[in-house]
Amino acid sequence: MKQIIVTVALLIGLNTVAQEHYSGISTSNRVGILNANINPAELANLSKKFEVNIYGLSFNVSNNKIAFSDISSDADFETLIFQGNSPVNARIDAEINGPGLAIRWQKWGFAVTTKAHAKFDMVNVDPTIGNAITNDNIILNTTSLNYPGNQRLSGTSYGEVGLSAARTFFENDNHKFSAGVTLKILFPGSYSNFGLSNLNGTVTENATGAYLTTSSPATLNIAYSGNLADSFTNFDDYSKSIFGGLNGFAGDIGFNYQWKKGKGYKLNAGLAIRNIGSMTFKDDNNASTNYVLNIPQTNPLDLSLFENVDNLGDVEQILSDGGYLTQTSGQTDFKVKLPTVLSTYADFRIVPKLYVTAFLQQKVNEDSGNDQITVPNIFSITPRVNLGFFETYVPVSFNEISGTNIGLGFRLGGFYLGTSSLVSALVSDSKQGDIYTGFRWAFL
């Protein structure tokens, strides 16, 4: 368990560290497959008749504790990530856009896309527990715990193939309305979840270690599947098991409106609901079990037992051997919900070549559910200059975990490179960073 927490802390401290993939470029008026990722209705607005996606890579990390000014060669990440009294929230999120093809034909647009996802999340983790597990320097004190919510450590990897279609159903000289859908065929790879809710107890630290007791029963979910059953911290396991067997479906539905003016538009606005669906994890190494956790004062739990643990099976065994667990339900195959979001945006042309986009992403489900892949709420404003072959933009985003961030990006032909947090990381106390790049080829 200590290795799990320390690995997350170290990754959060990396300088290549946001949660909105392809921020800025995905709402460009150079419409392509990236726009369809936000809203499938945009396929009816493809800038060219054909687009081939060669690759797209986006890596994001955000948290609510460690800022860029905290990072140094002698930084103690274990202390930094568990500083203060507020719960720890952190996200590590990678997305790979593989080969894809989009076609515009008359009033229709079609696309076939491929993606891979890998995520690791800390959701509302009590810093007292984290400090007690990771801090080798024992401080003599007693701390009360009373957190009714669900504290989660969760890792997920999966792949998807998307089949999309869009159609313009009304168009005249001034207005254009389109709608689109995407069916996502899901290939769950690996999953791991540790969810502890209604924790009410005490951590007592003395000369021999840190010990946890509960004053009332808590509930615990431990789930794992695939390679993540063996290790939470070996991140090679995420990439090795991204594409599992076909075992899930999801969908997007979107609508688009354009106020046309001249050769382009004065306003391009869209609304979409994305990732409606779930996937089922099946593996020989599979388990999802719900427990009641009860740690009496006569038999306190020594938290040092978790220092060298890096998989949830061992955590489960330690708690079971101590007599702290009572199983209430369990299953070998289990479903996990995708992060369903409502996305809306409006792109305004201020003057020729200058645009401003407002974008909102609002999650539909809460991150606390043990069967839920997480996603943050985001609002962003992006001014953009588009000269045709060259485009540059400055996304300003407001992330519910890391706060305000300012980025920078550009497109040169089909190649793009950007970030949603570089500027704020350089000039302020940003708790977020990201980088993305890709290449697509559009013609005719």
Q: What is the pLDDT of residues 42-58, one digit of tens each?
A: 999 999 999 999 999 99
Yes or no: say if 68 and 429 are a contact pair by the CB < 8 Å rule. yes
First and final CA of the chain: distance in angstroms? 54
Rounded CA-CA distance 230/223 in Å is 12
397 Cβ neighbours under 8 A, 6+ residues apart: 18, 20, 23, 378, 379, 380, 404, 405, 406, 407, 420, 421
Domain that holds residue 261: 2-443
Q: What percent of the chain has pLDDT over 70?
A: 87
The tally of domains found in the chain comes to 1
HEC letters along 104-145:
EECCEEEEEEEEEEEEEEEEEECHHHHHHHHCCCCCCEEEEE
Rounded CA-CA distance 12/71 in Å is 10
* pLDDT at 307 > cutoff 80: no
Tell me, what's the pLDDT at 103? 97
15 Cβ neighbours under 8 A, 6+ residues apart: 68, 71, 425, 433
pTM: 0.88
Q: What is the pLDDT of residues 98-140, one digit of tens each?
A: 999 999 999 999 999 999 999 988 899 888 777 766 665 455 5
- Closest residue by Cα to residue 183 from 214, 162, 208, 205: 162
- Closest residue by Cα to residue 164 from 238, 215, 102: 102
With cut-offs at 50, 70 and 90, classify the pLDDT of residue 308.
confident
Q: What is the CATH number of the domain that holds 14?
A: 2.40.160
- Closest residue by Cα to residue 311 from 151, 191, 197, 132: 191
* pLDDT at 186 > cutoff 70: yes
Rounded CA-CA distance 44/112 in Å is 14
Q: What is the pLDDT of residues 25-47, one digit of tens each?
A: 999 999 999 999 999 999 999 99
Tell me, what's the pLDDT at 208? 78
Tell me, what's the pLDDT at 232? 56
CA gyration radius for the chain?
Answer: 23
Tell me, what's the pLDDT at 283? 79
Which range among 73-77, 115-119, 260-264 has the greatest average pLDDT?
115-119
Rounded CA-CA distance 284/341 in Å is 32
